A and B are shown apart, each in its own frame.
Chain A
Amino acid sequence: MNDLRSLKILVADDTDADRLILETIVRKEGHHVFSAKNGLEAVEIFKQQRPDIVLLDALMPELDGFDAARQIKELAGDELVPIIFLTSLQDTESLVHCLDAGGDDFLSKPYNRVILKAKIKSFNRMRGLHSTMLTQRDLLAQHHQRLLQEQTVAKQVFDNVAHSGCLNASNVRFFLSSLAVFNGDVVVAAIRPNGNMMVLLGDFTGHGLPAAIGAMPLASTFYGMVHKGFSMSDVLREINKKLKAILPIGLFCCATMIDFNFRRKRIKVWNGGLPAGVIYRDSDHTVIPLRSTHLPLGVLQDKSFKDDVQVYDLQRHDRIFMWSDGIHEARNSDGEMFGEERLFELFEENESSQSAFDEILLGVKNFIGSGEQDDDLSMIEIIMESPENVSHPAYNYSQQNQSLPVEWEMRFEVTPTSFKSFDPLPFLLNVLTEEPDLRGFSGSLFTILSELYSNALEHGVLGLSGDLKKSPEGFSEYYLRREQLLNEITTGFVHIYFTYSANIDGGTLTLRVEDSGPGFDFLSRQGKEISTTGYSGRGIGIVEKLCQTVRYYGSGNKVEVVFAWINDD
């Protein structure tokens, strides 16, 4: 493109001699020349031949150079067609007139071949740049268009994953930009099986698709777990783990999650990195900030993650407000930020708590004034209501009226052929954690089950003595004998019984394990301090700590433990 190829050049001059000189010079430079004797001819030839560069005399009959230049520039549209005025005009005003008419340069008389050659070369280079610029502009417009299309599709996918949950419940109000997910904001809300409402407002670092991508696993984890009744700490922990695994360093999610128990008028709050939301008391209009006490989601490894929550007892019609930093960072025309202080002042000025939500939105809007509207305000208000006043299709208050306790029993037997190859623990744990109330205790339940089962199998059915494990040598001896016996055994059993009983306030799980072994002298063990050192004897001690009661029956081949919990969700 930078090579001076043969160009089409239009020469327009009414003086024959002058035109003759120019034609000759231009032709000798290897270009193709078109000649015009006046402005009208020039415009006509331009239409037909679309020359690359136009050399235009300023003063010509019919149509002068200025008007011809205007028309040619208009015909050229986006394309750069350099117009060089041929002039012996010297005064500033005339030269400016040439440029105003769309001229790009001058060539003064007498003509200088070297200068003309240099100008043609330079303008041809400029044409190249211009055409590259146009191509890139079109490409950019295309890319932008595609990006918008992709965002629309991504938004649809996101909406399907995140849907609106129970944000349309009667006691919830929210304000969200339609493309909030591309601002990095995400709001999810769902009803737990026990009737609690869980709401999470998240703000991912960054903007656009990278910010939106993390919202998908967040929403799907949230809805999947909340509907199954997982506790808030379980949900937070799982989301944190997922985000930590998938998000690159530097991308994380500031979030506030609140669990609303309408029956007890109690909320549990976890805030990691979001600006403080507030509790707005209906009775005395006091404002209690819900400040961040944790790191955002997706920052810490699971083992360092803190899921402790703050619990607040509320009154009916108390309001909870949550927002992302859009309000705090809204700027007025002076570039000043709205900030938390102004936000809290709005509460002080508020007369009726019902209108607080609108007053905040209005306050921010007035503050921004003619400043740039960022359009990434996200705000939610949730009113503490009585359960019967929370209206939402997914929320059936009568079903939540759980005066009837839930009770069931299960018996499970492990037979000799299964002792070696089958581990019943994951299966049993799965069954137990189908109960929403037990989900939060899967760790404890696993410890209890595995201790009772291995005691029943190893000491009961196989008859191995725990004393062996008191020395390091005995420890490995123990496991060798265990392996051997498991290969040989043809008789025996382990029975496991569960009795589950729960109501809205809590419940008990009774586990009874019976084995085919001879039992042991449990009476002599009872009342003794548990040995917490050495290689054995720790397990049952932990079970005793975890359970309300641990009792042995029969010859000591039956053990019954009661695991109890209080439901404070």
Chain B
Amino acid sequence: MSTVQHLDYDALNSLKDVMEGEFGFLIDTFIRDSTDRLDKLYVLIGTDNVDAIRRAAHSFKGSCSNLGALHLADLCAALENNARENNLTTVGEDLADIESEFLIVRQRMLAYLG
């Protein structure tokens, strides 16, 4: 099993260059966004609204990739694919995986901020 890359630090470094003083605010925004998205996804998987699940997972994925959260983006993509294929049997596990990965990412991001 290959080692999981939770954060792409090159991406974070270049984001930091671009954002300068705003970088901390960006990280805060991402964490807040993502928390909202997780809450929203938990609500959605109870509704069987596959399309809404797919779209939410898709948006989450894009946001994660922007912030260098590569593994989290992959997990979102997995959920998105299952939703697209109408496969709802594993969405609970998918979402649990996403949540635990998000906790790791959040912790490491805050650590990166220092």
Interface residues of A (CB under 8 A from B): 14-18, 20-21, 24-25, 28, 59, 86-89, 109-111, 113
Interface pair A17/B29, CB less than 8 Å apart:
yes
Q: Give the contacting residue for A16; candidates B15, B29, B55; CB below 8 A.
A: B29
Contact A28 B18 (CB under 8 A): yes
Question: A17–B67 contact, CB under 8 A?
Answer: yes
A28 to chain B, nearest CB (A): 7
- Return the CB mask of B14-50 against A: 1 if under 8 Å, else 0: 1100110010011001101100000000000000000
Which listed residue (B18, B58, B63) contacts A113, Cβ 8 A? B18
B55 contact set on A, CB distance < 8 A? 59
> Which residues of A lie under 8 Å from residue B29 when comparing CB positions?
16-17, 20
Kindly state whether residue B104 has any CB partner on chain A within 8 Å.
no
A109 neighbours in B (Cβ, 8 Å): 62-63, 65-66
- Given the known interface contacts A88-B58, A109-B66, the answer about A16 and B33 at a Cβ–Cβ threshold of 8 Å is yes
**Minimum Cβ distance to chain A for residue B58 (Å):** 6
Q: Which 10 A-B pairs have the closest CB atoms?
A: A88-B62, A17-B30, A109-B62, A110-B66, A110-B65, A17-B29, A15-B63, A109-B65, A16-B29, A109-B66
Docked pose: A514 CA to B14 CA in angstroms: 120
Is B61's beta carbon under 8 Å from chain A? yes
Tell me, in angstroms, the Cα distance from A15 to B58 when the chains sit together: 11
Residues of chain B in range 55-101 having any CB-CB distance to chain A below 8 Å = 55, 58-59, 61-63, 65-68
Known: A24-B22, A28-B18. A17 touches B33 (CB 8 A): yes
Chain B interface category by residue count: 20 to 34
- B76 nearest in chain A by CB position: A88
> Does B110 touch A at the CB level, under 8 Å?
no
Q: For A21, what are the chain B residues with a Cβ–Cβ distance below 8 Å? A: 15, 18-19, 26, 66
Q: From DSSP, what is the main secondary structure of chain B's interface residues? A: helix
Residue of A nearest to B55 (CB): A59
B18:A24 contact, CB within 8 angstroms: yes
* B68 adjacent to A110 (CB under 8 Å): yes
Q: Is the CB of B58 within 8 A of A59?
A: yes
Judge whether B11 is part of the interface by a CB distance below 8 angstroms. yes
Report the minimum CB–CB distance from A20 to chain B (whole Å). 5
Tell me how far the C-beta of B60 lies from the nearest C-beta in chain A, rounded to whole angstroms.
8
- In whole angstroms, what is the CA distance A59 to B55 when docked? 7
Question: Within the complex, what minimum Cβ distance (angstroms) separates B17 from chain A?
Answer: 9
Bound-complex Cα distance A276 to B59 (A): 79
A87 to B66, CA, bound (A): 11
A89, A110, A113 interface centre (most CB from chain B within 10 Å): A110
Expressed in whole angstroms, the minimum distance between the Cβ of A120 and any Cβ of chain B is 15
Residues of A within 8 A of B22 (CB): 20, 24
Cα of A59 to Cα of B53 in the assembled complex, Å: 13
Contact of A110 among B11, B19, B26, B32 (CB under 8 A): B11
Q: State whether A111 touches B59 (Cβ < 8 A).
A: no
Q: Contact at A17–B63, with CB atoms within 8 Å?
A: yes
Chain B, residue nearest A90 (CB)? B77
In the complex, what residues of B have CB within 8 A of residue A25's CB? 18
- Nearest to B80 among chain A residues (CB) is A88
6 CB contacts below 8 A, A to B, read A16-B33, A17-B26, A88-B65, A89-B58, A110-B67, A111-B66
Query: Which of B14, B25, B58, B68 interacts with A20 by CB under 8 Å?
Result: B25
Contacts of A111 in B (CB 8 A): 66
- The complex places the Cα of A89 from the Cα of B81 at a distance, in Å, of 12
Which single residue of chain B is at the shortest CB-CB distance from A94? B58
* Cα(A111)–Cα(B18), bound, Å: 11
Given contacts A20-B19, A59-B59, 15 further A-B contacts (CB under 8 A): A16-B29, A17-B33, A17-B67, A21-B19, A21-B26, A24-B19, A59-B55, A87-B62, A109-B62, A110-B65, A110-B66, A110-B67, A110-B68, A111-B66, A113-B14
Q: Provide the bound-state CA to CA distance between A25 and B25, in Å.
A: 15
Closest chain-A Cβ to B8's Cβ sits at a distance in Å of 8
Nearest CB to that of B36 among chain A residues?
Answer: A16
Tell me, rounded to whole Å, the shortest Cβ–Cβ distance linking B36 to chain A: 9
Instruction: Give the CA-CA distance A109 to B65 in the complex, in Å.
Output: 6
Complex Cα gap A89–B84 (Å): 13
- Closest chain-A Cβ to B68's Cβ sits at a distance in Å of 7
A86 partner residues in chain B, CB cutoff 8 A: 62
Minimal beta-carbon separation of B78 from chain A (angstroms): 14
A17→B66 contact, CB < 8 A: yes
Asked whether A18 lies within 8 Å of B18 as measured between CB atoms, the reply is no
B23 closest partner in A (C-beta)? A24
In the complex, which residues of chain A have a beta carbon less than 8 angstroms from the beta carbon of B18?
21, 24-25, 28, 113
Contacts of B14 in A (CB 8 A): 113
Give the chain A neighbours of B19 by CB distance below 8 A.
20-21, 24
How many angstroms between the C-alpha atoms of A14 and B65 in the bound complex? 16
Shortest CB-to-CB span from A125 to chain B, Å, is 24
Complex: A548 Cα to B31 Cα, angstroms: 125
**A72 CB → nearest B CB, Å:** 21
From the candidates B25, B58, B66, name the one contacting A18 in the complex (CB within 8 A): B66
B69 to chain A, nearest CB (A): 10
Residues of chain B within 8 A (CB-CB) of A17 are 26, 29-30, 33, 63, 66-67
